[in-house]
Amino acid sequence: MTGITRREFNVLATGVSLATVSQLSRPALAAGPAKIVIIGGGPGGAAVANRLKSADPALDITLVEPKEKYTTCFYSNLYLGGFRSFKSITHDYAGVKKRGITLVTDTATGIDTTAKTVTLAKGSPLPYDRLVVAPGIDFKYDAIEGYSPEAAKIMPHAWQGGEQTWLLKEKLLALPDGGLVVMAVPQNPYRCPPGPYERACMIAHFLKTRKPKAKLVIFDAKKTFSKQAVFEQAFDEYYKDIVEINLTNEIDDFSVVKVNAATGAVTTKAGRAERAALANIIPPQKAGAIAASAGLTEGDWCPVHPENFASTKAKDVYVLGDAAIALDMPKSAYSAVSQASVVAADIIADLHGKPRVPGRYRNTCWSMVAPDNSAKIGGDYVPATKDGKSYLEVKDPFISKADDSADLRRQVFQESADWYQTIVEDLFGEVPPQPTLPNFRNP
């Protein structure tokens, strides 16, 4: 998994080498170098900023991100399981600044796509020639009666990294032995399709080793799920008396429709209710709020042209990462970074009046199911059209099997650790490698 940045930029995205790009003559822009504003310093936004800066150091690139540190959701389940520290999944933006990107620690509050400006909560408006919107997700709190940002402090979703991740781990540590953990999993599409089941394995591992009388009950709005055979095998082999998973079926709908943060009650549409000692409620999701307020959404998500992730709703605006909907490509950090390569290449080609080559994308999602045991799913994605609709078609898909050998699973685990290291260095600059060791307190 090494070298995804340049390889994907050069080969998958453009077919044009970085050397070629930097030798292109600069367009006669009205006032100095082109201004690129990027909203959101997650994998999508940070990767676009880095790709653009390395392709054309003269570009004026501003990354707007309110947080001073970014805690990755990817590998956060390993933190819950006790295999990683919180510190090892939290990164600052010093490396981004070092690359010559202007970092504005602020929140974008509005986008004027006619005047081509972004307004900020604290600072002056930012004019742009090209805008990249990568704000990730927000939650549809009203889909679950009784759930709200306040209730999430008691029943954490931990589906955005940082405080929520920390909170869920603290609540796991405080769980009485014999306590019941209840997890609510939403309908598709949502951030990281296999994420809830990796989380179930990591919580179950934590319970098995720390609170052996505790149980985990999962209520799932879906009938089937990503890497299902692998996860079901893992539940059976490692967590038989700990995990109970309830998938929606023809008779019962296990979507969680109501919670009571004061009592711990979690109720499904089918009418089953459990009193949780700890509830992990992952609500249905939508694009980050700024996307909707700027008119970039259709329904919950931002429609984009699959060949370059340009918004279908506004000129000179791109949306990528989890906020965009480009079925059948799943919402993952790997996908966001792959999309970022294409977006950067498209911006460079556009600014220089060069042909814009349709993107090719790639995704892999790894999930840890037990110590030294990870599974993966992935494939390449190419723009296609069916029944007059554009989408991204998966090519050469691959998926781990339930009966893979222990050796193969160990290798896949190592691959995922290498990927984590590569992607965070790509996004945030130099990051010391972190051991993956049981360390339950996890400072």
Write out the residues near ligand FAD by the rule CB under 6 A.
Answer: 39-45, 64-67, 70, 73-74, 76-77, 107-108, 134-136, 159, 191-192, 195, 199, 288, 290, 321-322, 331-334, 336, 365-366
Report phi then psi at 212, rounded to 5: -65, -15
Which of 204, 365 has the CB closer to ligand FAD? 365
Which of 267, 409 has the CB closer to ligand FAD? 409
Number of continuous H segments (helices) and E segments (strands) in the chain: 11, 24
What is the distance between the alpha carbons of residues 70 and 427, in angstroms, rounded to a whole number?
11
What is the distance between the alpha carbons of residues 279 and 349, in angstroms, rounded to a whole number?
48
Which of 20, 293 has the CB closer to ligand FAD? 293
Which of 235, 420 has the CB closer to ligand FAD? 420
What is the distance between the alpha carbons of residues 385 and 28, in angstroms, rounded to a whole number?
36
At its nearest, how many Å lie between ligand FAD and the CB of residue 361?
Answer: 13
What is the distance between the alpha carbons of residues 292 and 300, in angstroms, rounded to a whole number?
8
Which of 184, 290 has the CB closer to ligand FAD? 290
CA atoms within 13 A of residue 46's CA, in its CB half-sphere:
27
At its nearest, how many Å lie between ligand FAD and the CB of residue 90?
Answer: 12
At its nearest, how many Å lie between ligand FAD and the CB of residue 24?
Answer: 28
CA atoms within 13 A of residue 162's CA, in its CB half-sphere:
11
Which of 202, 351 has the CB closer to ligand FAD? 202
At its nearest, how many Å lie between ligand FAD and the CB of residue 273?
Answer: 26
Cis peptide before 328 (omega within 30 of 0): yes
At its nearest, how many Å lie between ligand FAD and the CB of residue 311?
Answer: 14
Q: What 3-state DSSP class applies to 61? A: strand
Q: Identify the helix (H) or strand (E) that includes residue 195.
A: helix 195-210
At its nearest, how many Å lie between ligand FAD and the CB of residue 357?
Answer: 23
